[in-house]
């Protein structure tokens, strides 16, 4: 099996990071090296047995922390991991086998929440720029247990060829994995979902779910993705998605101001429509498995897919 470097971006929460490093040492195929990228924590993370620490002098965001870790790695493969993920002992071995046996660029598995619900599998993206971690919040079952080739993955826990990683640091945190996945798909990079590679994700340990910071970043980076890739072709779908995200933020007591910025569009790709159509079709199919979530019911109704 090819050697792997594990990269753990961290901002505070030192005990979580220490636990994550210790758990990696219990993998049936442990990484050759663990790199912890301390992204400008107020109290710098102290030395951790089994890990090399790289420090940012200021908080530069998840995307920059991943890029720093990738630059510091010396192996063909890198595992990018949140510090609040606890992996099954064979997670890395299973995904190494996937990259060895399939012509793919990256692989991810199935993550659970501490309560046993699914945290997610692979990601999907709608034409309006709304992303869904497939299966999030649902009971496990056959729909989430089918190995398949994929275009989109979260970077919560992923094994990827080092040469294929390069995140857009202008996203800072949130949606950086969506942009990377879309850019990779346009470049004909394919991933693989292996449901037998599992873990438990605490979730939102650093920024908090729908905190003031995360709400501002989600809305800002959703707009950024749309202006880079989706507009003007998918203007109607984007406006629907934008309204729903604003409503969701308001439901959580947030109405963050999003400062204006100049966003240069990416060159138009003839593959974009195929990628988004396929992704949204699968998103619709999986949402309808047990009935759509409220957000997606509204999206598909307003987009004309539900009556």
CATH number of the domain enclosing 114: 3.90.550.10
Task: Answer yes or no: is 206 within a domain.
Answer: no
Task: Answer yes or no: is 168 within a domain.
Answer: yes
Task: Answer yes or no: is 120 within a domain.
Answer: yes
What values do phi and psi take at 275, rounded to 5?
-60, -50
**Torsion sign across C-alpha atoms 255, 256, 261, 264:** negative
* Total domains present in the chain: 2
CA distance 157 to 295: 25
Which structural domain, as residue segments, surrounds residue 8? 4-201
Residues 52 and 28 in one domain: yes
**Longest Cα separation, the chain:** 57
Query: Measured at the alpha carbon of residue 71, what is the angle toward residues 66 and 74, in degrees to the nearest 5?
Result: 115
Task: Answer yes or no: is 59 within a domain.
Answer: yes
Task: Answer yes or no: is 97 within a domain.
Answer: yes
- Residue where a domain stops, chosen among 201, 234, 263: 201
CA distance 193 to 118: 15
Task: Answer yes or no: is 207 within a domain.
Answer: no
pTM: 0.95
Asked if residue 201 lies in contact with residue 119, where contact means CB atoms within 8 angstroms, the answer is yes
Residues 256 and 275 in one domain: yes
Residues 260 and 190 in one domain: no
Residues 47 and 136 in one domain: yes
Per-residue confidence in pLDDT tens, the chain, 307 aa? 789 999 999 998 999 999 999 999 999 999 999 999 999 999 999 999 999 999 999 999 999 999 999 999 999 999 999 999 999 999 999 999 999 988 999 999 999 999 999 999 999 999 999 999 999 999 999 999 999 999 999 999 999 999 999 999 999 999 999 999 999 999 999 999 999 999 999 876 555 567 888 899 999 999 999 999 999 999 999 999 999 999 999 998 988 889 999 999 999 999 999 999 999 999 999 999 989 999 999 999 999 887 6
């Amino acid at each position: 099996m090819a050697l792997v470097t594990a990269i753990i971006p961290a901002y505070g929460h030192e005990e979580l990071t220490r636990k994550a490093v210790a758990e990696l040492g219990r993998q049936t195929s442990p990484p050759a090296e663990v790199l912890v990228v301390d992204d400008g924590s107020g109290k710098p993370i102290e030395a951790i047995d089994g890990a090399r620490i790289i420090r940012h002098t200021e908080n530069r965001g998840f995307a920059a922390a991943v890029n720093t870790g990738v630059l510091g790695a010396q192996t063909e493969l890198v595992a990018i991991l949140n510090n609040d993920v606890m992996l099954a002992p064979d997670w890395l071995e299973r995904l190494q086998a996937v990259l060895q046996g399939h012509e793919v660029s990256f692989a991810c598995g199935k993550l659970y929440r501490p309560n046993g619900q699914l945290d997610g599998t692979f990601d999907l993206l709608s034409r309006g720029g709304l992303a869904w971690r497939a299966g999030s919040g649902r009971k496990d079952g056959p729909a989430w247990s089918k190995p398949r080739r994929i275009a989109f993955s979260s970077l919560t826990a992923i094994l990827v060829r080092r040469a294929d990683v390069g995140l857009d640091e202008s996203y800072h945190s949130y949606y950086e994995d969506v942009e990377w996945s879309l850019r990779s798909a346009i470049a004909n990079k394919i991933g693989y979902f292996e449901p037998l590679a599992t873990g438990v994700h605490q979730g939102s340990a650093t920024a908090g779910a729908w905190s003031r910071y995360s709400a501002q970043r989600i809305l800002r980076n959703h707009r950024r993705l749309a202006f880079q890739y989706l507009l003007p072709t998918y203007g109607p779908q984007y406006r629907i998605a934008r309204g729903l995200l604003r409503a969701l933020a308001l439901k959580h007591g947030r109405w963050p101001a999003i400062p204006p910025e100049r966003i240069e569009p990416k060159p138009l790709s003839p593959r974009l429509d195929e990628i988004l159509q396929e992704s949204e079709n699968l998103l619709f199919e999986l949402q309808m498995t047990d009935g759509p979530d409220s957000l997606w019911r509204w999206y598909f109704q307003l987009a004309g897919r539900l009556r």
